[in-house]
Structure 1
C-alpha cells in the first residue's frame, strides 16, 4: 500500500505528465483544450488533487507567464478569416445595392406593363366597325 507521500508524488508526476501532453497537443483523456479540468482528466486525478498540487500550479504559472499568445498557424487562420469577413461585408453591401436596382427595375417594368395594357385596351369611345359596310 502506498504511503500518503508516495501517493502525493505519484499524483504530481501524473499531473505534470498530463500538463505536458496538453501543451504538446497530444491529449489522451480530454478534448485537448488547455484547462485545469483537462489537466486533471489527463492525469486521471480529481480536481481537489489538482488544486493541492503546488508543483502543478507553479508549472501552470510558468507556462502562462512565458506563453506565446497565439499559435502562428492559428494567427494565420484568424487573419485569413478576418480578410474573408471583410470581403463578405463588401459583397453583402454590393448585393444590397443590386437588390435596390432590381426593385427599381421591377417597379419600372410593372408601370410599363400597366401602361401597355392601358394603351392596348380598346377605347370604348372609338368604334371598331369599318366605316363602310362590305
Structure 2
C-alpha cells in the first residue's frame, strides 16, 4: 500500500479503493474524465452490485485508483438508481462523460463491456451511480 493511499484511508476511514473498467488503460482514461469534471456517473450490473461487499451507498466515499493501482482522486456517491439498460436516457449517458457523450456511444461501449463480463441483455438491470469529485490526489 502506498503512503498516499494510506493517508487517504485515514482521512476517509470507510472509503473503498477501486479502479474503473476492466483494464488498466480504461481505469486511467475514466479516472482522467472524473478529474476533468466530465464524468459524474458510472453504472454496474445489478448482479455485480449485489455481489460486491463494498458496493457504494449514498454518502459513501471511494478512492479511485489508476490502472497501476495508485490513488488519483476521491469521489462521494450522491445518488443511486435502478434502471434497465434499454431505459438509460441520453441525459444519464452524458453524465458518464465518455466518447462523444451520446446515448449511441454509451450503448455500444457498455454493451461491449457487459458482454466481456458475460452478462449483457438489453433488459438487464443496472445500478446507476452519480457522484461528486471530492479531492484530486497531488502527484
TM-score w.r.t. the length of structure 2 is 0.22
> Which structure carries more strand by proportion?
2
Q: Decide which structure has the larger Cα Rg and report it.
A: 1
> Which structure carries more helix by proportion?
1
By relative contact order (CA 8 Å, sep 6+), the higher-ranking structure is 2
